[in-house]
């Protein structure tokens, strides 16, 4: 007879000496909203008001409201006040629909001139975000369609200057890679909490950039040597659905 795996009060499995490992979400949604003019001020207000509203929604297991940037240097001068994001992990497939029927989503669409929505299924996730494993530990699975990647890091204050100096070569090289559809910087704060969201034609295209392009390989080497991060995460997702527009470009999952 097999002994059931122990659970925490939240239903997370307990392994590896008692550490809590979170379940893989049924679906992860990322909504990006484009605003302009007076909508920018409204977006700043919603960033403060909507966090709790989305977190309290049924089935929401992890929620982050995100600013965006072009990712050129990951400093304040990269900030894109015209685009904002809501990232959410859901315990069931109906979570994104509940969000899109909510007052929080309506408040964003009321001020946005464009919107893009990505529905994602975790394929690989390593590391932590705010001390959690929001995308669980997915069992590796083959996926032949478009792939999204999220990276996120908490940079040690003592390493900010060194880290910022390493970003421009990688950013410039990224724009030259075949197979890249969408790329933007994401962050919970103007400095120190930095990340990227990107969409690629295939998993092979992501691997080509991450493991074979010289600028990115150099950053990976320096990361191990320098210890820039106090926390980091890398996750890869199947793009189950994508629609809308981002920065004037139509988004599709095909």
Q: What is the pTM of this model?
A: 0.80
DSSP 174: H
Evaluate whether residue 247 is within a structural domain: no
Distance between CA atoms of residues 127 and 63, nearest Å: 17
Residue 1: inside a domain: no
User: CA 68, 70, 76: angle at the middle one, nearest 5?
Assistant: 70
Count of structural domains within the chain: 1
Asked if residue 214 is part of any domain, the answer here is yes
Confidence of residue 106 (pLDDT cuts 50, 70, 90): very high
Give the residue among 89, 86, 67 at the shortest CA–CA distance from 78: 67
Q: Does 250 reside within a domain?
A: no
**Average pLDDT, integer, range 145-167:** 69
Residue 91 or residue 234, greater confidence: 91
| CATH number for the domain harbouring residue 219 | 3.30.70.100
Helix (H) / strand (E) element for 227: namely none
Q: Is residue 9 part of a domain?
A: no
Q: What is the pLDDT of residues 138-155, one digit of tens each?
A: 998 889 999 999 988 776
Confidence band of 3 (pLDDT split at 50, 70, 90) = very low
DSSP 129: B
In the chain, the percentage of residues whose pLDDT exceeds 90 is 48
Between 233 and 155, name the one with better pLDDT: 233
Q: What is the 3-state secondary structure (H, E, C) of 51-91?
A: HHHHHCCCCEEEEEEEEEECCCCCCHHHEEEEEEEEEEEEC
Selected residue with higher pLDDT from 143 and 213: 143
Over residues 6-49, the pLDDT tens digits come to 333 333 333 333 345 799 999 999 999 999 999 999 999 989 88
Range of the domain at 172: 14-241
């Amino acid at each position: 007879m097999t002994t059931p795996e122990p659970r925490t009060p939240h239903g997370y499995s307990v392994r590896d000496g008692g550490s809590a490992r979170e379940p893989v979400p049924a679906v992860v949604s990322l909504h990006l909203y484009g605003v302009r003019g007076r909508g920018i001020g409204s977006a700043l207000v919603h960033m403060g008001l909507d966090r709790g509203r989305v977190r309290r929604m049924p089935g929401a297991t992890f929620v982050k409201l995100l600013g965006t940037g072009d990712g050129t240097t990951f400093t304040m001068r990269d900030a894109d006040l015209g685009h904002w994001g809501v990232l959410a992990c859901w315990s069931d497939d109906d979570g994104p629909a509940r969000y899109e029927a909510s007052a929080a989503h309506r408040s964003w669409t009321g001020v946005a001139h464009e919107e893009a929505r990505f529905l994602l299924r975790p394929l690989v996730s390593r590391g932590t975000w705010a001390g959690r494993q929001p995308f669980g530990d997915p069992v590796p699975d083959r996926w032949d369609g478009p792939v999204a990647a999220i990276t996120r890091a908490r940079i040690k204050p003592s390493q900010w200057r060194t880290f910022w100096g390493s970003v421009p070569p990688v950013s410039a090289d990224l724009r030259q890679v075949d197979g890249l559809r969408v790329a933007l910087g994401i962050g919970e704060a103007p400095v120190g909490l930095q990340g990227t969201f990107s969409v690629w034609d295939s998993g092979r295209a992501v691997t080509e950039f991450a493991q074979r392009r010289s600028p990115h390989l150099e950053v990976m080497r320096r990361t191990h040597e320098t210890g820039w991060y106090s926390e980091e995460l890398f996750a890869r997702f199947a793009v189950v659905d994508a629609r809308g527009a981002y920065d004037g470009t139509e988004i599709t999952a095909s």
